[in-house]
Chain A
Amino acid sequence: MSDMAIELRGIDKSFGLVHANKNINLTVRKGTIHGIIGENGAGKSTLMSILYGFYQADSGDILVGGNKVTIKDPNAAILSGIGMVHQHFMLVENFTVLENVMLGAEDSQILNTSISKARVELKRLEKEYALEVNPDALIEELPVGLQQRVEILKALYRKADILILDEPTGVLTPPEADHLFRILGQLKDQGKTIIFITHKLREIMAITDEVSVMRRGEMVATRKTKDTSVEELAELMVGRRVLLRVDKGEANPGAVKLAVENLTVRDSRGVTMVDNVSFTLRAGEIVGIAGVAGNGQSELLEAISGIRKAVSGTVLLNGRPIDVTGHADPGDLRSRGLAHVPEDRHHVGLVLKFDEAENGILGYHNDKRYLNGVFLDTKAIQADAEEKIRKYDIRPPNPRLKTANFSGGNQQKIVLAREMERGPDVLIIGQPTRGVDVGAIEFIHKRIIEMRDQGKAVLLVSVELDEIRALSDRIIVMFAGRVVGEREPDATEGELGLLMAGVEGRKEAAE
């Protein structure tokens, strides 16, 4: 009997020219939570897909419980006692919980008998692991946290001893994530082995016993979690020292570039999302808008950038009004020096099916330097893309690659490069580092501060309070569509937190 749940020896895998896994060795002890951390694109998911039989390794051995096994498809993985909770749930949305759990593990041709057996077994699992969920509920009616629980139950139903969770917290709210951690702790106590994949350092420190770090397809280190630190892991992930804090000098505010007065915006249902908001933004400063997601920040950005019609109010850009209540044209605003990095890069910022070079000119495609008469000047576009790739360290450095195939951080860099390289007077940025890995975060933060130091006015919206505090020269807090306070960046997290929760704001308004 080996006390190793899983051993990988010399696993190697290439996809065409991309060497996704290079000679990976990994040992996971039984009954532990083993974290695997790495930036997006480091090869974590590929490695786990090999372990689960989605892909075959080009070379290398897999040992489960000390015995060498061949995992040629997911079925073989299941038989070896490996279960996987995928990042994007593998559930049939219009099936019930019970049907999803038994799918593929039905024990007879006729469903009725399988269903009653599965129901009994599911009940037992729910009790044993305290994972209650209504077996007859339809998946599409369940919140995301419960859907994930169904995925875990699916694995347990197939008698998995080793559970792989691929970026499980990406879709969860913080309380749901905490709940998941408690469940994982329980599973560990019952003797299950858990492999936990993430790119979030905080989660690794919170729940793992051991952690292995991957970087560019290689396994670079394995540490006991209690013997390591966030700083060390970040450095191992990125391959160099990472500043988790941002260095920036004093702001040097100049003329008012953007003035928002009494702006009110409603959403499509007619609910007032931005309520009589006023503020100014000067050249050479970063103003951060803090707030819990859904308190009107998104609508505020959309109204200023001309995507959403406002109900009332005025916005002055460089002293000239923007027709926010009428037909503000985002293209026109761009030419007037307002650049916008939208919150949702997948749906608003990029066309994922276009290649990098094409996305690099979106919105600026009528610019003379990209045109050759009525046609696009592909050479100029290509040269422009290559320059941005170099300047923003976009990887892989291939302007012809479909944007969908870049990692989140590199996609964000593509959007940033497009908007920043125009030298706008005003830069509006929503969620600059959502779904972006540590190395890219550092880069993006530096670029934002550089913009400020060049005398640009930057309006920053983020739900990450740390980010707001690190970058902003002034912080405006929004709650329920209204500005409930303005603070200096040295305000404590507690103070801002209370404002964001709407507690302090009401008092202030009353005074």
Chain B
Amino acid sequence: MEFFDTIVAILESTIRVSVPLIFAALAGLFTERAGVFDIGLEGKMLGAAFAAGAVAAVTGSVLTGLMAAILISVLLSLVHGYASITQRGSQIVSGVAINFIVAGSTVILGEAWFRQGGRTPALDADARFQTVTFPFADAVKDVPIFGPIYSNLISGHFILTYVAFLLVPFSWWVLYRTRFGLRLRAVGENPGAVDTAGISVIWLRYRAVICCGILCGFAGAYLSLAMSAGFVKGMTAGKGYIALAALIFAKWRPVNIMMACLLFGFLDALAIRLQGNPLPFIGQVPVQLMQALPYILTVILLAGFIGKAIPPKAGGVPYVKER
């Protein structure tokens, strides 16, 4: 039974750490499927986390914090959009620039406004997300097997956690079952086809970039308003890059993205659990190895061992009417 409890505990933390990955990877899905590569997921998430933490600390309202996160993230997305869609600059350079600017400016602004070494003040319960307890969660807690699964795994998460998981089928529906999705996927494969069909390539790509901003806003708000009680400098800690790896690992497909994020989240949760707990026969597993696994898996995938990951054909290439 103790083993079972351990498993449930690991899965519970898997879900907890997967949520920002799912938000961010879905964000990347929207832009990259539209042909705009986005290495700046990390920066947008970090900027959103800071905005959420700062605004929630000042206003004491969790919703205002969330709105601020989305606003900042969308603005950063528009910067990326302006550089790479309108000005046809390098999408990689623009993304990296956003990551650096945000990493620096959040610390500077945080220190200037709150004088707590780049942190935002710790949030009260009202100013952060609370966990949701499903009906009968407490009642069934002690039922064997089902009890812990229901009360710990299914119930007891933040509202944003449920939003993240509902966004997976929703994103699928948008991409594959709506006109917007059809056009968005088309513009990532052959923008010429979209242009000659009488649709604006630029406006379509901007809309995709805005979708990305909104979702990164959720990811950031989750970090500072749900997972922690406030912003800590560099709190994304590479999650944006892991999300990017998950996006590639999932071959740019929504349901696969959820699976990949859960896998990477599981590795993360396992790494935390294994810290200081040597495994039988194997001994101590280095934490660094576990942390590197998502990247190692992605590289193996890219090398072609687990099928081929074919990116959207027009990805990374600014659209220029042929002359």
Q: Does residue A94 face the partner (Cβ distance < 8 Å to B)?
A: yes
CB distance from B323 to the nearest CB of A (A): 7
Determine if A90 and B190 form an interchain contact, defined as CB atoms under 8 angstroms apart. yes
Which residues of chain A (1-34) have a CB below 8 Å from chain B? Answer: 15
Contact of A91 with B190 at beta-carbon distance under 8 Å, contacts A108-B179, A111-B182 already known: yes
Chain A residues with CB below 8 A from B179, complex form: 106, 108-111, 114
B282 at the interface (CB under 8 A from A): no
Would A103 and B197 count as touching, CB distance under 8 A? yes
Q: How many residues of B contact A (CB 8 A)?
A: 25
Q: Do A104 and B178 touch (CB < 8 A)?
A: no
Residue of A nearest to B313 (CB): A93
Supposing A54-B321, A95-B189, A103-B186 touch, asked if A111 and B197 sit within 8 A by C-beta, the answer is no
Q: Is A78 an interface residue (CB 8 A)?
A: yes
Give bound CA distance, A113 to B323, whole Å. Answer: 37
* Bound Cα distance from A141 to B221, whole angstroms: 44
Q: Is A112 interfacial (CB 8 A cutoff)?
A: yes
Determine whether the beta carbon of A92 is less than 8 Å from that of B190: yes
**Chain A residues near B190 (CB, 8 Å)?**
90-93
The answer to whether B198 touches A104, judged by C-beta atoms less than 8 angstroms apart, is: yes
Per-position 1/0 for B53-76, Cβ under 8 A of A: 000000000000000000000000
> B194 in the interface, Cβ–Cβ < 8 Å?
yes
Is A126 an interface position by the 8 A CB rule? no
Closest-CB distance, B205 to chain A (whole angstroms): 15
A73 within 8 A of B: yes
Q: Which residue of B lies closest to A95 (CB)?
A: B186
| A103 lies within 8 A of B313 (CB) | no
For the complex, give the distance between the alpha carbons of A100 and B186 in Å. Answer: 9
A75 within 8 A of B: yes
Q: Which of B160-204 contact A (CB under 8 A)?
A: 176-183, 185-186, 189-190, 192-200
Residue of B nearest to A112 (CB): B177
A395 lies within 8 A of chain B by Cβ: no
Q: A92-B189, A93-B313 are in contact. Are A103 and B178 (CB under 8 A)?
A: no
Q: Name which residue of chain B comes closest to A20, CB basis.
A: B323
Give which listed residue, B176, B193, B200, B321, contacts A103 with CB less than 8 A: B193
**A54-B321, A95-B189, A103-B186 known; A90 vs B180 contact (CB < 8 Å):** no
Complex: how many Å from CA A76 to CA B200? 12
Check if B193 sits within 8 Å of A109, measured CB to CB. Answer: no
**A112 to B193 alpha-carbon distance, docked (Å):** 21
Smallest CB-CB separation from B190: which chain A residue?
A: A92
A158 to B194, CA, bound (A): 14
Point out the residues of chain B lying under 8 angstroms from A94, CB to CB: 189, 313
B198 touches A92 (CB 8 A): no
- Chain B residues within an 8 Å CB radius of A78: 197-198
A385 at interface by CB-CB < 8 Å: no
Count of interface residues, chain A, beta-carbon cutoff 8 Å: 32
Are A75 and B198 interface neighbours, CB within 8 A? yes
A148 CB, min distance to chain B CBs, angstroms? 14
The verdict on A137 contacting chain B, using a C-beta distance below 8 Å, is no
CB distance from A142 to the nearest CB of B (A): 15
In terms of DSSP, what is the predominant structure of the interface of chain B? helix
Minimum C-beta distance from B113 to chain A (A): 43
Task: Tell me whether B180 and A74 are in contact (CB under 8 A).
Answer: no
Distance from A45 Cβ to chain B, minimum over Cβ atoms (Å): 9
- Chain B residues within 8 Å of A15, by CB: 323
B177, closest chain A residue (CB): A111
CA distance A55 to B194 in the complex (A): 16
Residues of B near A92 (CB, < 8 A) are 185-186, 189-190, 193
Enumerate chain B residues within 8 angstroms of A86, measured Cβ to Cβ: 192, 196
Residues of chain A with a CB closer than 8 A to B182's CB = 99, 103, 106, 111
Give Cα A86 to B176, complex, Å: 27
Segment 151-204 of A: residues with Cβ below 8 Å from B: 154
Contact B180 A105 (CB under 8 A): no
Which chain A residues border B195 with CB–CB below 8 Å? Answer: 54, 74, 90
Chain B residues with CB below 8 A from A287, complex form: none
What residues of chain B lie closer than 8 Å to A108, measured between beta carbons? 179
Query: How distant is the Cα of A74 from the Cα of B181 in the complex, in angstroms?
Result: 21
A317 within 8 A of B: no
| Distance, CA A49 to CA B176, complexed state (A) | 32
Known: A111-B178, A114-B179. A104 touches B189 (CB 8 A): no
Q: Which residues of A contact B176 (CB under 8 A)?
A: 111
Cβ-based interface call for A84 (8 A): yes
Contact of B193 among A54, A76, A100, A110 (CB under 8 A): A100
A104-B198, A109-B178 are known contacts. Are A90 and B189 too (CB-CB below 8 A)?
A: no
When distances are taken between beta carbons in the complex, the residues of chain A under 8 Å from B185 are 92, 95
Residues of B within 8 A of A73 (CB): 198, 200
Per-residue B-contact encoding for A73-89, CB less than 8 Å = 1, 0 else = 11111100000101010
A-chain residues with CB within 8 Å of residue B313 when the two chains form the complex: 93-94
CB distance from A164 to the nearest CB of B (A): 11
8 closest Cβ contacts across the A-B interface? Answer: A104-B197, A75-B198, A90-B193, A90-B196, A106-B179, A92-B189, A74-B198, A92-B186
Extra contacts, 9 of them, besides A86-B196, A103-B186, A154-B197 (Cβ < 8 A), are A74-B195, A75-B198, A77-B198, A86-B192, A90-B195, A90-B197, A103-B183, A103-B197, A109-B179
> What are 25 inter-chain pairs, A to B, with CB distance below 8 A?
A15-B323, A54-B195, A55-B321, A74-B195, A76-B198, A78-B198, A84-B196, A88-B192, A90-B190, A90-B192, A92-B185, A92-B186, A92-B190, A92-B193, A95-B185, A103-B193, A103-B194, A104-B197, A109-B179, A109-B180, A110-B177, A111-B176, A111-B181, A114-B179, A154-B197
On A, residues with C-beta under 8 Å from B are: 15, 52, 54-55, 73-78, 84, 86, 88, 90-95, 99-100, 103-106, 108-112, 114, 154
